[in-house]
């Protein structure tokens, strides 16, 4: 199991070799989960003034659930609907690579500087999306970055629709 801080830095630098490494390292699943937790805590700390402690806890739990759902959707879409001939992956590989793609989200803690929060969150979100595309491309053994982008977007769209439906059901 490699050094977590170094791995997070390499993931943030969009290093494809890092994503190949954590894809193959079954012991890195716990590290990937920690990255998701750290990233969501960074966002929660930045919004403590508006969301309070409940927002911090709820956001962290929500981020973990979102990570699991998005990884599963990405696995299904990437291996069943849009595989390339070289695609070989299991859910654990996607959990690890997608988890590490949350590494750039750590910068969201800087959003505690309230006037910059929106810009910092936007930059972090775009950076995390770019990292996820690299993570998916590597985990699914894609040659095409465009295919990885499509898989990420489809997974995101399905997740957004599912969350909207759940929110609507529980709002009444």
Which residue in 172, 61, 44 sits closest to 112, CA to CA? 44
Question: Rg (Cα) of the chain, in Å, rounded?
Answer: 16
Which residue in 150, 122, 121 sits closest to 136, CA to CA? 150
Q: How far is 53 from 56, CA to CA, in rounded Å? A: 5
C-alpha distance from residue 54 to each of 10, 17, 40, 47, 105 (Å)? 32, 38, 13, 11, 20
Give me the mean pLDDT over the 145-165 stretch: 92
**Residues 4-40: pLDDT tens digits?**
999 999 999 999 999 999 999 999 999 999 999 999 9
Which pLDDT belongs to residue 172?
66
Which residue in 72, 81, 126 sits closest to 101, CA to CA? 126
- For tokens 């069943």, name the residue: 80
Low-confidence winner among 3-12, 147-156, 158-167 (lowest mean pLDDT): 158-167
Which pLDDT belongs to residue 83?
97
The residue extents of the domains of the chain are 4-171
Is residue 99's pLDDT more than 60? yes
pTM of the model: 0.90
Which pLDDT belongs to residue 76?
96
Q: Angle between the 29-46 and 48-76 helix axes, to the nearest 10 degrees?
A: 150
Determine which helix (DSSP H) or strand (DSSP E) holds 32, and give its type and residue range: helix 29-46
Q: How far is 32 from 58, CA to CA, in rounded Å? A: 19
**Residues 72-86: pLDDT tens digits?**
999 999 999 999 999
């Amino acid at each position: 199991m490699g050094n977590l801080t170094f791995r997070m830095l390499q993931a943030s630098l969009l290093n494809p070799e890092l994503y190949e490494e954590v894809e193959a390292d079954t012991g890195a699943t716990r590290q990937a989960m920690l990255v998701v937790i750290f990233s969501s805590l960074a966002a929660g700390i930045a919004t403590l003034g508006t969301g309070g402690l409940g927002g911090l806890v709820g956001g962290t739990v929500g981020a973990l659930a979102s990570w699991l759902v998005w990884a599963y959707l990405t696995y299904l879409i990437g291996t069943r609907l849009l595989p390339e001939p070289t695609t070989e992956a299991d859910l654990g590989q996607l959990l690890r690579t997608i988890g590490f793609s949350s590494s750039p989200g750590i910068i969201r803690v800087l959003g505690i500087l309230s006037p910059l929060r929106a810009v910092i969150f936007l930059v972090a979100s775009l950076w995390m999306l770019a990292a996820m595309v690299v993570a998916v491309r590597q985990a699914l053994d894609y040659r095409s970055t465009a295919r990885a982008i499509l898989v990420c977007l489809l997974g995101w769209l399905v997740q957004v629709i599912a969350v909207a439906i759940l929110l609507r059901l529980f709002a009444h």
